[in-house]
Amino acid sequence: MSVQLYQDLRTGQILEHINALDDSFIMVRDQAGNVSTKFWQHLTPYDPVTGRRYKDLNTIVEIEEPDEPIPVSVFPAFEKRLDLNRASAEQIAKHVNGVGMRIAKQIVDLRKSLPGERFVTLESLRAIARVDWDAIFNSDVVYIS
């Protein structure tokens, strides 16, 4: 049996494929075990080895499970990426290359100014200037939950 992983292009979350509902929707499980539906167009296959997104949406990522059943989480035990909805300014400054303490404080202030004090998409970070957001998003070091 193989597990298919996808990354949400809007939030950066890693999701486990459960079932394809139709041509537009897919049922997925997130790292916390919550089940939800997503648009296919918002997802891209995810490789847990490289931690990078594929550009080809027709590629399917499959993980071979061992012969003996071992209770292993589908998701990495240690998340190398930083959740910007939970991170402090100090964590952001230390974890994200090209972001100093001043910019990290601006990110936290922006998050607190949003409805629900949460980022909904990574694109809302583009409101903060002087940061190469494309490079940060492509390096896959941040996500939002």
* Strands 5-8 vs 14-20: parallel, antiparallel or unpaired: antiparallel
Checking if the pLDDT of 4 tops 50, the result is: yes
Contact indicator for 15, 30 with CB cutoff of 8 Å = yes
Report the alpha-carbon distance of residue 77 to residue 46 in Å, rounded. 16
Report the alpha-carbon distance of residue 145 to residue 15 in Å, rounded. 11
Checking if the pLDDT of 137 tops 90, the result is: no
This prediction has a pTM of 0.52
pLDDT at 98: 86
Mean pLDDT of 19-23: 84
Cα-trace Rg, the chain:
16
N- to C-terminal Cα separation, the chain = 28
Checking if the pLDDT of 74 tops 80, the result is: no
Q: How many CB atoms lie within 10 A of CB 5?
A: 20
Q: Name all domains of the chain by residue range, CATH numbers in brackets.
A: 2-64 (2.30.30), 82-143 (no CATH)
pLDDT in tens, 30-62: 888 889 999 888 888 887 777 765 555 444 445
pLDDT at 55: 53
Report the alpha-carbon distance of residue 119 to residue 30 in Å, rounded. 17
Beta strands in 9-141 (DSSP E): 14-20, 25-29, 35-39, 43-45, 63-64, 82-83
| Closest C-alpha to 6, from 64, 69, 53, 72 | 53
